[in-house]
Structure 1
Amino acid sequence: MKVSVWDTYVKREDGKIMHFDILVPNSLQDEQTILNYGASYLKSKAFKTESISSNICNFCHIEQATDAVMNDIQNKGFSIIEMENCN
């Protein structure tokens, strides 16, 4: 399965910048749906963040999904790869 990777940066309440990728099926083109997935992920965090917007979430590239990513997408429609300051 090919997935689109959306590179995302969001400011936390402590001033740190979170960096994570939102992975969705390559066929998904609706930016608002992708932003909603990011917002859902942010709500799962124990700390507050700024809102997600198209200014901080941009299409980056397409790659082949791993089994773990495909499982996430099948279960919830998207997958997150945490990069920096996500915990």
Structure 2
Amino acid sequence: MKISVWDTYVAREDGKTMHFDILVPTTTEDKDCIFSYGREFLSKKPFQTAELSSRECKFCHMEQAADAIADTINKKGYYIIEMENCE
């Protein structure tokens, strides 16, 4: 499965910056939909964060997804890779 990677940086209430990638099929082009996936991810965190918008989340590149990631995307519509300060 070919996917789009959206590079995302969101400020936390403690001053740290979260960095995570939102992975979606290349056919998913609606930014509001992609941002809603990021907001859903953030809503499950035990701390407050700043708003997620086009300033914090930008298209980065396309790549081929690993099978496990593709399986999750087929079920949920997206996959999140936590990079920094997501815990």
Same fold (TM over 0.5): yes
Q: TM-score, normalised by structure 1?
A: 0.97
Deviation at 1:71, TM superposition (A): 1.6
1:72 corresponds in structure 2 to: 72
Instruction: Give the root-mean-square deviation of aligned CA atoms.
Output: 0.6
Q: Structure 1 counterpart of 2:77, which letter? A: G
Deviation at 1:16, TM superposition (A): 0.2
User: What secondary structure, in the 3-state scheme, does the structure 1 residue paired with 2:70 have?
Assistant: helix
With 45-54 and 68-77 compared, the bigger mean Cα shift is at: 68-77
Q: Detail structure 1 runs of 4+ shifted over 4 Å in the superposition.
A: none
The gaps in structure 1 that reach 5 residues or longer are none
With 66-75 and 20-29 compared, the bigger mean Cα shift is at: 66-75
The gaps in structure 2 that reach 5 residues or longer are none
2:83 corresponds in structure 1 to: 83
Q: Structure 1 counterpart of 2:6, which letter? A: W
Q: How far apart in 1 are the matches of 2:29 and 2:7? A: 15
Matches within 5 A, 1:22-61: 22-61=22-61
Cα deviations across residues 8-60 of structure 1 (Å, max 9, x unaligned)? 00000100000000000011110000000000000111111111000110000
Q: TM-score, normalised by structure 2?
A: 0.97
Identical pairs, percent? 59
Structure 2 residue 13 is the aligned partner of structure 1 residue 13: yes
User: What secondary structure, in the 3-state scheme, does the structure 2 residue paired with 1:10 have?
Assistant: strand
Cα deviations across residues 45-84 of structure 1 (Å, max 9, x unaligned)? 1111111000110000000001221121112110000100
Q: Structure 1 counterpart of 2:4, which letter? A: S
